[in-house]
Structures are given as C-alpha cells and as structure tokens.
Structure 1
C-alpha cells in the first residue's frame, strides 16, 4: 500500500479498534455477562507447541472484573 508506518502505530490502531468495538457493544447494552468464552478454551491443548497448556477459568473470570 505504500504506507509509511511503524509497529507502534499499528498497535495503536489495533487498540483503538478494540476500544471502539467495546464502546459500541456497551452502547447496545452488552455487559460482562455477555463476554464469555466457549468451555473448550479451558481444556488442555491436545497437541502442538502448547500441548497440555490450559487457560485457567478462574483467572479469566477475575480478569473480567477489572
């Protein structure tokens, strides 16, 4: 595209995008109860480089409170 940019600027655009999506959802009435992940995310990875690793559901729920 020929854009002159930096990694920092790209990260800022990504952050702005996420914040705008959250703002839009909040205006439409979404709450933290609507923010959830499927149960399979909390099961250990069956293979690949992350084999055996698992996301802690309690940590996820605690992070939602922040």
Structure 2
C-alpha cells in the first residue's frame, strides 16, 4: 500500500500507465530476422600517406 487515496491512485495509474506501456513496447524483442534490416557496414579507414623520408636519415 502506497498510502494514496482512491483518487490519487487512479490519477497515478492514468498518468503512468501509458508511459510504462510505451517503454515496454520500445524494449520489446526485435522482429524476426527476415524483416529486420542489416546494419550498414563500415568501410575501413583510408590509409594515410607516410611522411617522406629524409635522404640523410640512417636506416637500420
């Protein structure tokens, strides 16, 4: 018991019931895979060019 009057309980339910139902509907299981769209595939990042090497740099 929440300690609410009948009127307060009715107002509480009237206010919160649609919001709770909307939240439940939003978090319901996904549709079958035949109707579900695949997420877009990401292309790999473009390779950045390497900086030019100085001719005076020593190589190991």
The TM-score range, normalised by the shorter chain, is: 0.3 to 0.5
Structure 2 length normalisation: TM-score?
0.34
Q: Which has the larger radius of gyration?
A: 2
Greater helix fraction, Structure 1 or Structure 2: 1
Structure 1 length normalisation: TM-score?
0.31
